[in-house]
Amino acid sequence: MNILDKITLDKRKEVELRKSLIPTSQLEQSVLFERQTVSLANNLRHSKSGIIAEHKRRSPSKSVINNSLNVQDVAKGYQDAGVCGMSVLTDGKYFGGSLDDLLTARASCNLPLLRKEFIIDEYQMLEAKAYGADVILLIAAILSRDEIKQFSEFAKSLHLDVLLEVHNEEELHKSIMPSLDMLGVNNRNLKTFDVSLDTSKSLSSLIPDDFVKVSESGISNIEAIKELQPYGYQGFLIGENFMKTDNPGASATEFIKSLEQ
103-121 pLDDT, tens digit per residue, is 999 999 999 999 999 999 9
CA distance 225 to 232: 11
Question: Domain total for the chain?
Answer: 1
pLDDT range class, residue 65, cuts 50, 70, 90: confident
∠ CA 145-39-246, rounded to 5°: 100
Predicted confidence at residue 67, as pLDDT, reads 83
DSSP string of 65-113, one letter each residue: S-SS--HHHHHHHHHHHT-SEEEEE--STTT---HHHHHHHHHH--S-E
- CB-based burial of residue 36 (10 Å sphere; 0-12 exposed, 13-18 middle, 19+ buried)? exposed
How many C-beta neighbours within 10 Å does residue 191 have? 12
Predicted confidence at residue 260, as pLDDT, reads 86
Nearest CA to 132 out of 114, 119, 120, 116 is that of 114
**Is this model's pTM higher than 0.85 or not?**
yes
Query: What is the largest distance, in Å, between two alpha-carbon atoms of the chain?
Result: 52
CATH number at residue 191: 3.20.20.70
Residue 63 bridge partners (DSSP)? 59
Give the domain extent around 255: 3-260
